[in-house]
Amino acid sequence: MSELTDLYQEVILDHNRRPHNFRVIEGATKQEGYNPLCGDRLTLYVAMDGGVITDVAFQGSGCAISKASASLMTDAIKGKTADEARALFDQFHAMITSDHAGPAADLGKLSVLAGVREFPTRIKCASLAWHTMKAAVASETDAPVSTE
Amino acid sequence: MATGVSSVAAQLRPGFGGPAAFEVAKIRADFPILTERVHGQPLVYLDSANTSQKPEAVLKAMDDYYRHANANIHRATHLLSERATALYEGARAKAAVFLNAPDPRTIVLTKGTTDGINLVAQSYGRATLKPGDEILLTWLEHHSNIVPWQLLAGQTGAVIKVVPINEAGELELDQFAALLSPRTKILAVGHVSNALGTINPIKAMIGQAHAAGAVVLVDGAQAAPHLAIDVQALDCDFYVLSSHKMFGPTGTGVLYGRAALLDAMPPYQGGGDMIASVTFEQTLYNQVPYKFEAGTPNIAGVVGFGAAIDYLAGIDREAALAHEDAVLEYATAQVRQIPGARIIGEARHKTGVLSFVLDGVHPHDAGTILDQQGVAVRTGQHCAQPVMDRFCIPATIRASLGIYNTREDVDALVRGLHKVRELFV
Q: Note whether A4 contacts B424, CB cutoff 8 Å.
A: no
Which residue of A lies nearest to B39 if distances are taken between CA atoms? A1
- Residue A6, strand partner residues: none
- Per the domain annotation, does A86 fall within a domain? yes
Q: What is the DSSP letter of B21?
A: P
Domain boundary assignment for chain B? 67-313, 317-424
CA distance B357 to B363: 7
Out of A1, A39, A67, the one facing B395 most closely (by C-beta) is A39
Chain A nearest-CA distance from B379, in A, is 7
Lowest-confidence range among A89-98, A138-147, B410-419? A138-147
Q: What ipTM describes this predicted complex?
A: 0.85
Q: Does B365 touch chain A (CB under 8 A)?
A: yes
**Tens of pLDDT, residues B232-286:** 999 999 999 999 999 999 999 999 999 999 999 999 999 888 888 888 888 888 9
- Where residue B262 falls (left for φ over 0; alpha for ψ -120 to 50; beta otherwise) is alpha
A38 contacts on B by Cβ (under 8 Å):
362-364, 379-381, 394-395
A62 contacts on B by Cβ (under 8 Å):
362, 394
User: Residue B98 to residues B189, B225, B258: CA-CA distances in angstroms?
Assistant: 20, 11, 16
| Pairing verdict, β A145-146 and A29-35 | parallel
Catalytic residue flag (residue B383): yes
Lowest-confidence range among B9-18, B177-186, B230-239, B383-392? B9-18
Task: State the CATH number of the domain containing residue A89.
Answer: 3.90.1010.10
Q: Does A105 touch chain B (CB under 8 A)?
A: no
- Per the domain annotation, does A28 fall within a domain? yes
Q: With beta carbons less than 8 A apart as the criterion, state whether A117 and A125 touch.
A: no
**Tens of pLDDT, residues B118-162:** 999 999 999 999 999 999 999 999 999 999 999 999 999 999 999
Which residue of A lies nearest to B365 if distances are taken between CA atoms? A63
Chain B nearest-CA distance from A116, in A, is 11
B358 pLDDT higher than 90: yes
Confidence at residue A147, expressed as pLDDT on a 0 to 100 scale: 60
CA distance B88 to B54: 19
Q: With beta carbons less than 8 A apart as the criterion, state whether B357 and B396 touch.
A: yes
Domain that holds residue A47: 2-139
Among B11, B85, B63, residue whose Cα is nearest residue B293: B85
Mean pLDDT of B88-101: 98
- Per the domain annotation, does A41 fall within a domain? yes
- Per the domain annotation, does A75 fall within a domain? yes
Confidence at residue A100, expressed as pLDDT on a 0 to 100 scale: 59
**Tens of pLDDT, residues A6-38:** 889 899 999 999 999 999 999 999 999 998 777
Chain A nearest-CA distance from B288, in A, is 38
Which residue of B lies nearest to A60 if distances are taken between CA atoms? B394
- Residue A35, strand partner residues: A40
Chain B nearest-CA distance from A50, in A, is 37
CATH of domain B67-313: 3.40.640.10
Can you give the pTM of this predicted structure? 0.90
Q: Do domains B67-313 and B317-424 have the same CATH topology?
A: no
B369 contacts on A by Cβ (under 8 Å):
4, 8
**Tens of pLDDT, residues B306-346:** 999 999 999 999 999 999 999 999 999 999 999 999 999 99
Confidence at residue A103, expressed as pLDDT on a 0 to 100 scale: 56
Which residue of B lies nearest to A5 if distances are taken between CA atoms? B423
CATH architecture, domain B317-424: Alpha-Beta Complex (3.90)
pLDDT band at A121 (very low <50, low <70, confident <90, very high): confident
Confidence at residue B15, expressed as pLDDT on a 0 to 100 scale: 40
A119 contacts on B by Cβ (under 8 Å):
368
User: Residue B222 to residues B82, B163, B377, B412: CA-CA distances in angstroms?
Assistant: 34, 19, 16, 24
Residue % of chain B over a pLDDT of 70 = 95
Side chain identity at residue A145, one-letter code: V
- Per the domain annotation, does A145 fall within a domain? no
CA distance A60 to A41: 6
Lowest-confidence range among A133-142, B210-219, B370-379? A133-142
Q: Does B6 touch chain A (CB under 8 A)?
A: no
Mean pLDDT (chain B, rounded)? 93
